[in-house]
Amino acid sequence: MKIIDLEPAYYDTYFNCLEDWSDEMKEAGNHKSCWYQKYKEKGLRVKLALSDEGDVAGMIQYLPAEESVIEGEGLYFVMCIWVHGYKKGIGNYQGKGMGKALLIAAEKDAKERGAKGMVAWGLWLPFWMKASWFKKQGYKKADRDSMRLLVWKPFSMYANQPRWIRPKKDVTKNSGVVTVTAFINGWCPAQNVVFERARKASEQFGEKVVFGIIDTSDREVFMEWGISDGLFIDGKQVSYGPPLPYEKIMKKIALRVKKLPS
């Protein structure tokens, strides 16, 4: 295993979160690439784990808390850490210590850049980005928002505990049409897939559906709403989690269209 900084030769793999073999990731468009180009100027850091065969088998991306989706000062925030866990592509590399090695490398880098601590997030549920895994790496609870747990590891006694930034405004709907509102930050291909599927589905209904885009890669816009990524139909959020299939999004919109006045 070898930990390196992101290099141009690995951009495509990184932009697809190591799943460049996946047809689903191809639906995500170029949002991750645009987000990266914007945020690398704002302190975004990316490290990759290379297998002995030279394949990119793991990644971690982190940036200053002041540019992230949390409230924090002088800290770095881990947007995600991921080790390839599928049989497809290069195969399953989880359980070999790559995640821990990536996190240690990121912490070292953050300390060298003067950070007062490292922040991450995890889920209570036993799958991707498990909060329990971070606790095993010495992180402690800082804040909780539903299933999402914010955890951190202070490097300095002067570090202040971070907090989630929560939704600040309600998403409204327009009268006489179905309103589909999509928040998109760009950092997560899975969320980008949902955005593209919702846009495509909305177009099928013509003037009966208004598709609104809220670009939260602009942090001022994010701070106005307190929502990074999300899909809302007539002001109600569609279930959050793995990307909804295109057919399900179509069905949800169609049900609302049927209720429009004739």
pLDDT of residue 11 exceeding 80, the answer is yes
CATH code (residue 200) = 3.40.30.10
Mean pLDDT of 116-123: 95
Could you tell me which residues come within 8 angstroms of residue 247 by beta carbon, excluding any fewer than 6 positions away?
none
Looking at the fold, whether 64 and 151 belong to one and the same domain comes out as: yes
Mean pLDDT of 74-81: 97
Each residue of 30-73: pLDDT tens digit?
999 999 999 999 999 999 999 999 999 999 999 999 999 999 99
Distance CA 164, CA 158 (A): 19
Cβ-contact 34, 186 below 8 angstroms: yes
Candidates 38, 79, 48; CA nearest to 229 is 79
Cβ-contact 104, 153 below 8 angstroms: no
Residue 87, in any domain of the structure: yes
Looking at the fold, whether 203 and 242 belong to one and the same domain comes out as: yes
pLDDT confidence of residue 242 = 80
Residue 173, in any domain of the structure: no
Looking at the fold, whether 33 and 135 belong to one and the same domain comes out as: yes
Candidates 144, 140, 57, 64; CA nearest to 101 is 57
Each residue of 145-186: pLDDT tens digit?
988 999 999 999 999 999 999 999 999 999 999 999 999 999
**In the chain, how many domains are there?**
2
pLDDT of residue 127 exceeding 90, the answer is no
- Name the residue range of residue 82's domain: 2-164
Mean pLDDT of 122-135: 82
Mean of per-residue pLDDT scores for the chain: 95
Looking at the fold, whether 195 and 123 belong to one and the same domain comes out as: no
Looking at the fold, whether 186 and 59 belong to one and the same domain comes out as: no
Looking at the fold, whether 126 and 62 belong to one and the same domain comes out as: yes
Residue 170, in any domain of the structure: no
Each residue of 206-243: pLDDT tens digit?
999 999 999 999 999 999 999 999 999 999 999 767 88
Mean pLDDT of 118-128: 83
Looking at the fold, whether 17 and 122 belong to one and the same domain comes out as: yes
pLDDT confidence of residue 129 = 81
Please report how many Cα atoms fall inside a 13 Å half-sphere around the Cα of residue 238, on the Cβ side.
Answer: 29
pLDDT of residue 123 exceeding 70, the answer is yes
Q: Could you tell me the end-to-end alpha-carbon distance of the chain, in angstroms, rounded to an integer?
A: 63
Handedness of CA 89, 92, 97, 99 (dihedral sign): positive
Looking at the fold, whether 100 and 188 belong to one and the same domain comes out as: no
pLDDT confidence of residue 188 = 94
Cβ-contact 68, 38 below 8 angstroms: no
Determine phi and psi for 106, rounding to 5 degrees: -65, -40
CATH code (residue 18) = 3.40.630.30
Looking at the fold, whether 149 and 234 belong to one and the same domain comes out as: no
Distance CA 260, CA 49 (A): 52
pLDDT of residue 16 exceeding 80, the answer is yes
Residue 169, in any domain of the structure: no
pLDDT confidence of residue 109 = 98
Residue 253, in any domain of the structure: yes
Looking at the fold, whether 205 and 159 belong to one and the same domain comes out as: no
Find how far residue 58's CA is from the centre of its chain: 16
pLDDT of residue 126 exceeding 70, the answer is no
Residue 171, in any domain of the structure: no
